[in-house]
Amino acid sequence: MMLPLLIALLMACKGHAQDHQESVLCGHRPLFPNSSWLPFREILEVQNGEFPWQVSIQMLGKHLCGGSIIHQWWVLTAAHCFPKTLLDVVAVNITVVMGTKTISDVNLERKHVQKIIAHKDYKPPHFDNDLCLLLLATAVQFNNVKIPICLAQKESSWDRCWMAEWASAHDHGSAKSLNMKLKKLRLVQMNWKACAKRVTGLSRTMLCAWKEVGTNGRCQGDSGAPMVCGNWRTRRLFQVGVFSWGVTSGFMGRPGIFMSVPQFVPWILEETEKEGRAVTLSRASRVPLTCAPCYSLLLSLGSQILFAAMFAGNKSDC
């Protein structure tokens, strides 16, 4: 009687460990202290767990574009990363590196891509609808260094925004080398009308952002890299943009141009549902990343069950 109950508890805990992957709190950074939201506490160097949704999309082991984890099966990036002439054959050569801030990290995880879905209305050389979804071959197992980013569902004013990108750790050498690491830049969103006066060909699906005055850092513009913005009250971050184009983003009066994520949420939901791996929008409740409470309960109950079994056995021998 005791053994079946113990097995049932083990199975329940296993099921909990699998189910929680679907409901991990997006935009949350377990390893990154909340005090870092304060300007005078912010460190220029990217810290462990600061951008746990950031990925490096690679072709034949070399960095191709940035991207973000939006679901355990999906990565969001820019469509121009994948020329249409290669779209049908390129997936087998594409991998996604995650769970690290440096490409040389031995603890990084590499996922293969099953399918590339570019927005149907993306028609180069124009950058309208420059958005792409990557369906992973295997699901991401979330932990402290692999967390999905929340998707912004409407245009809003944010407390603070950043863009992180993969760049060479040194000023010399190839940007595709193994010494690449994440760098970050504090951004401020620019009024669309003001941006349209500076940038030709700006569509309503695009948004502009540039370096926040008085902050350090420099980014060149990593195609597909997420622009994320924070909510001071919840300490959660939301992806508001996907970097599309721009020259030395945020410098010399040239803003970076991003695809506006809120305008493409319906498309993301539709395409992911078609594949049977539907993205769900952010949940309000926090779910722990481990099954620790379950295992604690199991250990406690298991001890009681074993003790009771031993007691019963001794009593029968008397």
| CA separation for the pair 292, 286 (Å, rounded) | 15
Q: Which among 56, 68, 223, 260 is annotated as catalytic?
A: 223
User: The tokens 């350090």 sit on which residue?
Assistant: 216
Beta strands in the chain (DSSP E): 54-59, 62-71, 74-77, 94-98, 109-118, 132-136, 150-151, 160-168, 180-190, 206-211, 226-231, 236-245, 256-260
Assess whether 35 carries a catalytic annotation. no
> What is the end-to-end Cα distance of the chain in Å, rounded?
21
Question: What three-state secondary structure class fits 158?
Answer: coil
Q: Is 177 noted as a catalytic residue in this protein? A: no
Q: Which of 63, 130, 222, 260 is catalytic?
A: 130
Q: Which listed residue (28, 63, 80, 119) is catalytic?
A: 80
Residue 12 structure tokens:
């329940």
- Whether 80 sits among the annotated catalytic residues: the reply is yes
Tell which residue, 63, 77, 51, has the closest CA to residue 136.
Answer: 77
Tell me, what DSSP letter sits at residue 85?
G
Known catalytic residues? 80, 130, 223
